[in-house]
């Protein structure tokens, strides 16, 4: 799991610069990776409702549009510009217009993020 914070911007500034690499790698990423278990512990129930809500939000963005510059979608990797091997479903930043998604190209990726993306793809 490689959270998208490395690509995010806040008021034109890279979000990673605002929160710091240490917090991103030692606090944020582990928390995202363990969120399913955290939901189960807090609710005492399965995290399936959270996964179901994520699926609904995905479809809402796809069919009704979204309010951000881009959103992350799990899409077919063929022809991407991020050095992710073709032939797998992978989470990419996309824009959606008229129910058609397109991968956002040209986002800056540092070496640590590149490594996490490769591990995720593998």
Whether this prediction's pTM lies above 0.75 is answered by no
Q: Which of 5-14, 36-45, 65-74, 95-104 has the highest average model confidence (pLDDT)?
A: 95-104
Q: Is residue 94 part of a domain?
A: yes
Asked if residue 96 has pLDDT above 70, the reply is: yes
Q: Which domain holds residue 77?
A: 4-33+65-121
Q: Is residue 58 part of a domain?
A: no
Number of domains in the chain: 1
Q: Is residue 79 part of a domain?
A: yes
CATH (domain of 96): 3.90.110.10
Q: How far apart are CA 62 and CA 115, in angstroms?
A: 29
Task: Write out pLDDT tens, residues 10-54.
Answer: 777 777 788 888 888 888 888 887 877 887 788 777 767 767 777
Q: Is residue 13 part of a domain?
A: yes
Q: Which stretches of the chain are DSSP H helices? A: 15-19, 21-23, 29-33, 35-43, 48-64, 111-121
Q: Is residue 55 part of a domain?
A: no
Q: Is residue 10 part of a domain?
A: yes
């Amino acid at each position: 799991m490689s959270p998208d914070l490395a690509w995010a911007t806040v008021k034109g500034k890279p979000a990673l610069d605002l929160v710091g690499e240490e917090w991103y790698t030692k606090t944020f990423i582990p928390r995202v990776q363990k969120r399913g278990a955290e939901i189960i512990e807090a609710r005492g129930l399965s995290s399936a409702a959270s996964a179901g809500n994520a699926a609904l939000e995905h479809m809402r963005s796809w069919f009704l549009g979204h309010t951000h510059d881009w959103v992350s979608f799990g899409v077919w990797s063929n022809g991407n510009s991020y050095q992710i091997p073709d032939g797998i479903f992978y989470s990419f930043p996309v824009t959606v217009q008229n129910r058609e998604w397109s991968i956002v190209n040209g986002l800056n990726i540092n070496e640590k993020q590149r490594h996490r993306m490769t591990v995720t793809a593998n």
